[in-house]
Structure 1
Amino acid sequence: MRIVVRNSPAHGLATLEECEAVALRAWYGNAASSEDEAIALSVIKRSRLMDGWIECDCLPGRYQPLLAPIQQEHTYTLRRLLPKDEDPGRHEERPNHAHACPFHVDKDAAPSRFDRGYHLRPLPKSERSCIDALPAIPDRLADVSASDRIRSVERNDRPSRLGSILWRVLDKAGTNVIPPLQDERDFSLRDQLARLRSAAREFRVLRTWTLNALMSTWAADYRDPDSRWQRLLATSRPDWPETVRRTGFMGLFATSVSTQTIIPASSARKIDILAKVRQPLRGDPTSRGPFLTLLNVDFGDDDDGPARAVQAYAQPVYNGDTLFPVESGFE
């Protein structure tokens, strides 16, 4: 087995030792010892840190089956990458694992529990003033022998948590309310961001820290460890419990976004997102922008590195002066 470049498996990044390959197969085959699980966990974490895939070596020939490392909320796991039935052109590039391999996908049986589709569940409106920070870095593997009910609790089948935070702040600030035209109000991005920051004082991330104190609206703060925002986050370090990560937030007006990139209006440099930039499911994705984005930031797996944007939610807005939330350009 080896770690290969994501989306370009012809290019290798690292070769796994025999004991590491054995440990991965033993874990997925539900026959691993504690030592095997520790080795498998280190391999999955390393491949995810390298932003790569794991290439299995169970088949002869040019193309080998692929496995994607997945970091869930509390655990790490692997996802078997196979082409969809409606995409026959990828069948040769992504073959199934050998029948004797624990990663083999039996297409005649029920689909993999991890790969099943889930419907979005509505998130009830919350009146609580507490804001969820990032959970602690996972330190264990998923239980592949658990039932559907247990294994599905970490599925991302609910609206984005960052999205719900942003909507609550917008609602508290009244930014989602369009005043009558006869009021002839003058809008500006500075005033709108000031209203959002004022509303953020009503929410708490920790008992002693408000969302406003841990949030920046200036993109340059992301790369400046001496900025007031990062210094406040450093000051807050002793107050964070072990169950969550030290988490900062950024509320940025962005001209455009992609799946893993945000281009803020206040900086010429883009911000890369470790996970994914989520957007509303409704509306036309091709007719969107600009955006009001909310990011959460940590400081690496050891909590001692530079700021790292982990997740982001991009809410389409009418323009940069009003920040009225819309679904797409049709509005």
Structure 2
Amino acid sequence: MPHRSISAPRHRAPALPSTDYDVIIIGAGSAGLSAALSLGRCLRRVLVCDGGPPRNAPSPGVQSFFTRDGIKPAELLRVGLDQLKPYDTVEVRAAQVQRVTPGFQVFEVEAEGESGRTFTVTARKLLLATGVEDELPPVPGMRDLWGRGVLHCPYCHGWEVRGQALAVYGQGKIVTGMALLVSRWAPDLVVCTDGAGHLSPNARRRLRQQKIQLNEEPISHLEGTANGQLRHIVFKNGDKLARHALFVHPHQHQRSTLAEQLGCRLTSKGAIWINKHSQTSISGLYAAGDITPGPQKALLAAAEGTEAAIAIHETLTREECPK
């Protein structure tokens, strides 16, 4: 009988769930659109759920964004959406995600579209890029001037207000650290603590050393112009302090409750914990942008979106091409 060679059986990919998309991205800011771009270039079927205006919508410009320095936030997103058009595997919908149900290698997403109708779609991987919301101090006028006369980031806005009379709002270690940073841009700087500042002797010494003034009078309100520029900080004793801008480091919370609902691990500051591959504590669920730990800037959020997209694509590929 002639010898017949028997070839080794090929490894077959395990049966993967049939889903509407490979990836659903919740959030269409810098992180979400950047991730969609990278995944579209990988020929991945992607749905982006656009939940509305980004955190920086009130700002006159996005600063320090390579090749886009000073671009208006809405224009940056318009360019980002426009550059997704050649990638026909990427779909963007105006939709508010209401519920996410994880299953075995699949996520079911229920969302409400522009018409108010609810739809349900599935994907193998999910990326949260939902952003955060700032909790501004309850000082009358602060919300009205947010993004123009009241600012949160010296790296984003310090150059625009350089050389002007500035102030920093807050108490304790946070206001001390912010004031020392802002002093780089401001020769005339006042820390306003809105009552007792709870500053240590060493903090007071460091402020004096940098010629930063300290005002612990309670604040009544902020006076500004119709276009959002700050004019005066008005104290409850009737005094007025003329300032060009006020920096504040507000508390934040997750804009979406999805991470909490899904049981994601959070950091002590309320950010979504991720590993070095942008994955949350839940398998198949990724996060990028301001919702994760670290510095918050549009350019960094875009980079994190790209990192997450690469990690997602490589994980999908390993699932499709087993050893």
Instruction: Using structure 2 for the length normalisation, give the TM-score.
Output: 0.21
Instruction: Using structure 1 for the length normalisation, give the TM-score.
Output: 0.20
Greater strand share, structure number: 2
Q: Which has the higher contact order (CA 8 A, sep 6+)?
A: 2
